[in-house]
Structure 1
Amino acid sequence: MARPRKFDEQAVLTVARARFWRDGYAATSVQDLTDATGVGTQSLYGAFGNKHDLFIRILEGYCARQSAGLAAALDADPSPWHGLTSAVTFDDGGRLDLPPQGCLMANSAAALSSQDEQVRALACQAYFGTLDLFMGQINQAKEAGDVDAGIDAEQTARALIAVMQGIEFLYKSGIGPDELHLAKAAALTMIERAFTR
């Protein structure tokens, strides 16, 4: 009979996520994880498998939370188009703000997708989930008369995701808040000119 675990799994996942997020997958050792969580190697492996299994579980949970949070933020905005542009520019008053270390999924995909099939699959899943969500918002905005009824929702959603990822890259590049604000304003102006009436 297995002995009951003497630690809170969710607390361990939260601490391990913070370490992976701060240092990246490759730079985070099992010793780093045991030191950070206070859970011994054998117990860590017994609960979560190896380091990679733990990382994938963390990434899956992160993606699920981000997707739900984005959907909730969009749903909370009375204007489908305003909610969408706020999401694209990370400018909704706090719910969608980027943390200093950027997006865990984007960071992980950039570092690992070329050699890690599971990370690549999660990145693709996140992309297509966001694409579907954005397409739904665009169709709602078309019905509301906020954007040109003739625009292609799928192509527009792809363009907006590309803008969103570019803004995140600029944020992480360290260009500073003033220049980031100018870049976001310029992107928003171009988006409005391209898609709204």
Structure 2
Amino acid sequence: MQPNKAFDEWLATTAFGGANQAYIEELYERYLDDPNSIDNSWKTTFDSLPKSTAVEQPHSPVRDYFRRLARENNSETVTVIDPEASAKLVKILQFINAYRFRGHLEAKLDPLNYYRWKVSSVPELDYRYHGFTEQDLNETFNINHYVYQRDTITLADLNNMLKETYCGSIGLEFMHVQDMEQKCGFKINWKAA
């Protein structure tokens, strides 16, 4: 209990108490601008504070900035996206990623067609698995250069291009690469080839 009593006594007698915070902060900002602009006793107090390697910044410009923002009340406009279109775009991205991660399982690695009995064993590579129907095959989707450096593509074209890219007889395994810049380079260059 004794340490708290000493602290309480110090707090009651010090100029650094909470009631003086705004005044001391203003003095300190003036000290930062010009140390000789304040009383010598305060200058000595501020000079004795531990020095930091970081440059001290006054708080008043920050406070003024946020006050100005609150007064201006600039409301941002929000674009509402059709939830159904959004859900379809998510399905498209899942479809693309299914090929990226599992397309190699359907690769044409049998030039003699020895395993002609083999049927598709990866259901995720079928557009129907992702909730699309045959009616969706001619629908155009905005993929914003996510694959094949195109803005838009029909589901049918995307399906064919993914099969050609990820299930062909030559492939590139790159999804394990951790460096995102390197991974993007692989994607762009491989699809361009």
- Using the size of structure 1 for normalisation, the TM-score is 0.29
- Using the size of structure 2 for normalisation, the TM-score is 0.30
The structure with higher relative contact order (CA 8 Å, sep 6+) is 1
Q: Whose Rg is larger?
A: 2
The structure where helix makes up a greater share of residues is 1
